[in-house]
Structure 1
Amino acid sequence: MRYRLDVVAPSVVEVVTCAGGWLFDRVMAGWDVTVLVADNCDDRPLQILGAEAANLETALASGLSGLTGPRPHALAVATELYDRDARVRQGVRQALESGQTEVTLWGDTWPAELDRVDSVEHRLSVAARAFKAQALAAASAPVDRIAFTETFRSGTPACCPVAADLVPAS
């Protein structure tokens, strides 16, 4: 059985910009990564990272707790969507309450009601930085300089066997 990460984002460009290196490293570690996006643009940047694209609205209509099948081992969400869509908020809360799903968020604002999430970062592998740059170029996004880390907020259950790639932010 492979670990599964479902990612919820408003656009392909945002997910590649904010979490592309982390997603690539998870794929290289053997994870199945599905990115559910609100826009219907080219999914080639996600393919470069090794992730699959799916339609967010279709997934939300069927319930966020099992976006692309059984409950994922990890769920990553853009706070922009958390703030504006009650279905996303409900899915995140259910995942946190289950205690069985690593929940990770990124964005400019942090929902105050999510007091169980800590600031964490992922140090990108050299390959992740290279593939993220290629994915950004394919998305026609600026590729000025790829940072060595990506910063998130995460609520990881104690029993989660996969927290080693997200460490407390310095």
Structure 2
Amino acid sequence: MRYRLDVVAPTVLDAVRYAGGWVYDRAMAGWDVTVLIANPGDVRPLHILGAETLDLDSVLNAWEDRPHPQTVAVAADLFDRDPRVLTHVRNALDQHAAEVTVWGERLPAELDSSVDSVEHRLSAAARAFKAKALSAADQTGAAVGHTETFRSGVMASVAADLIPAS
């Protein structure tokens, strides 16, 4: 069985900017990584990172028919844009069905107590591929840090790549 990571993002650039290194590292570790995009455009930057892409709306409409991932990463601003995203995240946290990771500032108050600050330390290859993906997304020269920071409702994590942020 291969582990699955679904990343839910408003745009390709948002997914690359905030979770691109983590996407790459998990894909290279053998995970099936799919980025569900609300506003798809040129998905080439995500393919550079080793991710598959799907349209978010079509996935949400067929949620029960799709295999559920062990980890879901979500852009917090999608909670306001599509209530189905918040419903699925809330259910995953309540049922301990998946590790839920969120990036962004506008976290709903009801989720705030369910998540803690964590970070992923990017491998050297992840930093290089993230830089290439950012460049492909017309963000040439964008800085790529050594870590990506998230808020995570960690059940028994299936991977040790997220560590508490100091």
Q: CA deviation at 1:77?
A: 0.5
Match of 1:166 in 2: 162
The equivalences for 1:61-140 within 5 A come to 61-63=61-63, 69-114=66-111, 115-140=113-138
**TM-score where L is the length of structure 1:** 0.93
1:106-157 alpha-carbon deviations (Å, 9 max, x no partner) = 0122221111100000000000000000000001124332111000000111
Match of 1:157 in 2: 155
Match of 1:147 in 2: 145
Residue type of the partner of 2:141? V
Residue type of the partner of 2:105? D
Count the aligned residue pairs. 165
For the residues of structure 2 that align with 1:97 and 1:161, how far apart are their CA atoms? 18
92-101 or 123-132, which deviates more: 92-101
CA RMSD between the two structures: 1.2
Q: CA deviation at 1:62?
A: 1.5
For the residues of structure 1 that align with 2:133 and 2:124, how far apart are their CA atoms? 14
Q: What are the ranges of 5 or more consecutive residues in structure 2 without an aligned counterpart?
A: none
Match of 1:7 in 2: 7
Q: CA deviation at 1:47?
A: 0.5
Q: What are the ranges of 5 or more consecutive residues in structure 1 without an aligned counterpart?
A: none
For the residues of structure 1 that align with 2:139 and 2:87, how far apart are their CA atoms? 31
